[in-house]
Amino acid sequence: MLLAIDVGNTQIKVAVFEQNTLLNKEIIGFSNWEIAVKNTLRNFPKINNCVVASVGKLQKEDFLNLSSTLKVHFISFESKFPFQNLYRYPKTLGTDRMLLAAGAVFQFQKKNRLVIDAGTCITYDYIDENDNYLGGAISPGITLRYQSLHNYTDKLPLLTIEIPEELIGNSTNQSLHSGVINGVTLEIEGFINAYSYQNDNFIIILTGGDSEFLAKRLKNTIFANPNFLLESLNQTFQYNHND
């Protein structure tokens, strides 16, 4: 049994896997993460391995206290991945993006794949049908756009995610909602259309904290899975340790 921990920029996702079956998933904060992880270990005493991927403020040394009870493994640039990394500076590619690319190869073989991760940032990662990772794009996520509009202006309010009533906002709040939500939706649709135009045999994978919200608003046919990174983390662990 495997404990998979994904440390993001704003939250931590903890999952328990039995082979490829997801048994449990929790989203926890940074302030109480150790207590939450130890509770999971008590609830699932058969866990004997832990795999960690971090792009957030928790690093390898933060997990040393867990190593007395189970084997802790870390996914990094040095791990084995099922694709050829053709990024110009491969060592600068985030672990989360490498895992998403790995999951796309594991789950959708012999296809051109675009993985869109809608979280704190929106990342776009493209892996061709020959399993070459070519790169992608990074832009601000939904919450980050709301925060930026508030933090870098004098009078715009800080709003939370809400579907705009109309395309044309008839108030400051509705204008903000239209700008953020329609802006993100049109951006994603634009990227999908551009990639689709250049490639056939193509699949779009949407994941991340805002994926379910966005999936309902996108016109393109997509495979939406909010657990895609955790599943990829589990599969990458097996790929590295099941020889």
For 99, the enclosing helix (H) or strand (E) is helix 95-107
Amino acid at 179: G
Q: If DSSP codes are grouped into helix, strand and coil, which group holds residue 147?
A: helix
Distance CA 131, CA 110 (A): 8
Asked if 83 contacts 131 with a C-beta cutoff of 8 angstroms, the reply is yes
Element (H, E) at 238: helix 228-241
Active site residues per annotation: 96
Neighbours of 71 (CB within 10 A): 11
Q: Please, are residues 60 and 7 in contact by the beta-carbon 8 Å criterion?
A: no
